[in-house]
Chain A
Amino acid sequence: MHNDMNNTNLPKEELLQKVRAQLKELLVSHLALEDIKPEEIGDDEPIFGDQGLGLDSLDAVEIVVLLQRNYGLNIKETEKGTEIFRSINALANYIVENSPHPLGAESAAAEEEK
Chain B
Amino acid sequence: MGAVSAPGLTTSEALASFRAARREPGRLTLFESSLDLPVFEVARFDAAHPYSDGVRTLELALHAVREALTDAALDSGALSSARVGVCLGTTVASQLNDLAFYRSYKTTGSAPMAPVRRYLKGNLADAVAAHFGIQALTVTVTNACSSGADAIAIGAQWINAGLCDLVLAGGADELNLVPLSGFHALGLGCPFPCTPFDKHRQGLNLGEGAGIVVLEAPAHAVARGHTPALALYGHGTACDAHHLTAPHPEGRGLRAALYQALALAGVRPEEIAFVNAHGTGTQENDLIEGNTLAAIFGPSLPVLSTKGYTGHTLGAAGGLEAVFTGLALREGWLPPSIGFSEQDERIPITPLREHTEIHGRFALSTSLAFGGNNTALLLGFTKGAAQ
Residues of chain A at the chain B interface (Cβ within 8 Å): 56-58, 61, 64-65, 77, 80
Contact = CB atoms under 8 A, between A and B. Distances in A.
A56 B186 CA distance: 13
18 contacts: A56-B243, A56-B246, A57-B243, A57-B245, A57-B246, A58-B186, A58-B243, A58-B244, A58-B245, A58-B246, A61-B185, A61-B186, A61-B187, A64-B187, A65-B185, A77-B187, A77-B202, A80-B187
Contacts of A57: 243, 245-246
Contacts of B185: 61, 65
A58 B186 CA distance: 8
A20 B78 CA distance: 70
Nearest to B243: A56
A65 B202 CA distance: 19
A90 B260 CA distance: 47
Nearest to B186: A61
Contacts of A80: 187
Given A58-B246, A64-B187, A77-B187, 7 more contacts: A57-B243, A57-B245, A58-B186, A58-B243, A61-B187, A65-B185, A80-B187
A77 B203 CA distance: 12
A107 B245 CA distance: 34
A56 B284 CA distance: 14
Contacts of B187: 61, 64, 77, 80
Contacts of A65: 185
A25 B243 CA distance: 25
A16 to B, nearest CB: 28
A17 B244 CA distance: 34
Contacts of A77: 187, 202
A12 B245 CA distance: 38
Interface string B187-206: 10000000000000010000
A32 to B, nearest CB: 13
A57 B245 CA distance: 8
Interface in B210-258: 243-246
A61 B185 CA distance: 7
Nearest to B244: A58
A57 B186 CA distance: 9
A65 B184 CA distance: 11
Contacts of B246: 56-58
Interface in B346-376: none
B188 to A, nearest CB: 9
Contacts of B186: 58, 61
Contacts of A56: 243, 246
Nearest to B191: A77
Contacts of B245: 57-58
Contacts of B243: 56-58
A68 to B, nearest CB: 10
Interface centre among A57, A65, A77 (most CB of B within 10 A): A57
